[in-house]
Structure 1
């Protein structure tokens, strides 16, 4: 018996870090970036993990896989007489870039195991397992990543009210640029926590960052791409003051804006990862990508 699940990545448009403290956030799925999780029986007497970076005993994998170990153990506790398993991961989401690779494999593993064991867990149960794995991975997961990789539409999210789906199109183009530098969500979350607890100014920066999401939502519904872009640039200012930006991210944002983007910012935890730039047309997005090619390792262009 074999089961598979294909889960896609995501990009946070606005609200990273502030969402951890109860503010709203807006994120979108990226269907072109996905990871396929496949579960099958293993003939050897241990559970086997097969990824591009690790091949071997599932429970002896490096610490970065601790969230996945939790998921597998959870299902083994439900099915103690289960056979040994081989779980394979294949896909194209760069790790530690803010593109949701961790949430994608956590959700994919949970859904594939649920199907393999025919448990018929509810969506609420599946998301609870996925979010717990994300908390293991990142220290304090908001639930935003898991919600977005589980959605085919734009997600407006806060921790209290959960997910609200937005099907409205903005009629603009989003350029996603990979700095090539690994981000570190756990480190970035800890850094922001220290900043806002030790400085009233930093606490205000976080609040201002959180309040921008509601402005973006209204502008998005009104299809006011310029206003959305301006909010992106304001958010980048607050994120930089919270010390999660980098000189390369700052430079990429400025290059994008100088070339004609409506706005630009980091996306995700920061300290590396990706930069997003909101553009009126695909042609401009391509021009910016070409201009930034020496500073980035890859890029994607999405019509939104």
Structure 2
């Protein structure tokens, strides 16, 4: 095993609709982003202890900062299953911005689980790999629906419900999605708590969660009909609800306004909120590029996906 080296590539995601409400058992749709990925590489450690190498931290794996607690759980779990005492080096290359709603924590949790599974020849079934990944997400976010883990493990748009699990949708919508990174760190754990506190203190807030679930179900049905305009209107309504929870920042709102006046069919934040990303549904790539140029002073990066 001394010279063994295993690398696994996993990709990011964006939630199209259903953030927050999916935690309460409602429907959601999410899109894998193949152009955003991280490579997890496992090999023997050159030192007497296991080490982690990322763009932000290089040092002992189990002494890494608290934001890596989910990964420490994965690392300990797989080493325990393999009865391994050999020190390892785990290197993460590539870049998915953290705390933006792009699935970075799920990506590295899944990549680490799969890479260690291969390195140790454990041959874990898919269900076990996803169980470990989802538990890491629970550690990271306090309450995780399983949507992120399912989407970073999929090649297709994922329709998701906690009761029935993930279902891939291979049909294309026939539209273009512009994804804009506000550059503001989101905080999923804080956003989820903020929404939960509002729901528990006001029955009308709970009705909004029900409505978000209805909108996600409608989006799935309209996707099959390739009704891009109607889905754009749903995005706008969902954004109004999410903003009413207090999780849309001024920058998110400003980007949305610019997108709306420059041809977007619908815009919304994606992910936990309090920062992160804004998505704009467009008829074509030309419109997406136009919006990106108009809004460029308000975001740090952008990606365009044909969906």
Tell me which interval the TM-score lies in, with the shorter structure as reference length.
over 0.9
Tell me which residue corresponds to 1:59: 62
State the partner residue of 1:171: 174
Q: 1:195 aligns with which of 162, 178, 198?
A: 198
Question: For 1:209 and 1:140, how far apart are their aligned partners in 2?
Answer: 18
Please, which of 19, 23, 26 is the counterpart of residue 23 of structure 1?
26
Number of residues paired by the alignment? Answer: 304
Distance, in Å, in 1 between the alignment partners of 2:59 and 2:250 is 38
Q: 1:259 aligns with which of 251, 258, 262?
A: 262
Q: CA deviation at 1:254?
A: 1.6
Contact 2:82 2:122 in 1 (8 A): no
Per the alignment, in what secondary structure is the counterpart of residue 289 of structure 1? helix
Q: Please, which of 284, 289, 292 is the counterpart of residue 287 of structure 2?
A: 284
2:106 is the counterpart of 1:103 = yes
Shift of residue 43 of structure 1?
2.8
What aligned pairs does 1:131-142 form with structure 2 within 5 A after superposition? 131-142=134-145
Contact map agreement 2:181 2:302 (CA 8 A) in 1? yes
The secondary structure found in structure 1 opposite 2:221 is helix
Give the corresponding residue for 1:218: 221
Measure, in 1, the Cα distance between the counterparts of 2:255 and 2:209. Answer: 22
Q: Is 1:114 the counterpart of 2:128 in the alignment?
A: no
Residue aligned with 1:283, SS: helix
Summarize deviations over 1:220-247 as a string: whole Å, max 9, x none.
Answer: 1000100111100000000001111111
Contact 2:31/2:157, CA 8 A, preserved across alignment: yes
- Structure 1 residue aligned with 2:85: 82
CA–CA distance in 2 between the matches of 1:268 and 1:142?
12
Shift of 1:250: 1.1
Matched, 1:147 2:115: no
CA gap 1:99/1:81 in 2 versus in 1, 3 angstroms: closer
Partner of 1:4: 7
Displacement over 6 Å in runs of 4+? none
Partner of 2:243: 240
Aligned 8 A contact 1:205 1:241 in 2: no
Deviation, 1:75, is: 1.3
Residues 294/81 of structure 1: CA separation in 2 closer, same or farther (3 Å cut) = closer
SS of the equivalent of 1:45 reads: coil
Higher mean alpha-carbon deviation, 58-67 vs 77-86, is at 77-86
In structure 2, distance between residues paired with 1:268 and 1:42: 36
Gaps of 5+ in 2: none
For residue 81 of structure 1, report the CA deviation from its aligned partner.
Answer: 3.6
Instruction: Tell me: CA distance 1:81–1:288, structure 2 relative to 1, closer, same or farther (3 Å).
Output: closer
CA-to-aligned-CA distance 1:131-183 (integer Å, 9 cap, x gap):
00000000001000000000000100011100111001011100000000000
Q: Does 1:42 align with 2:49?
A: no
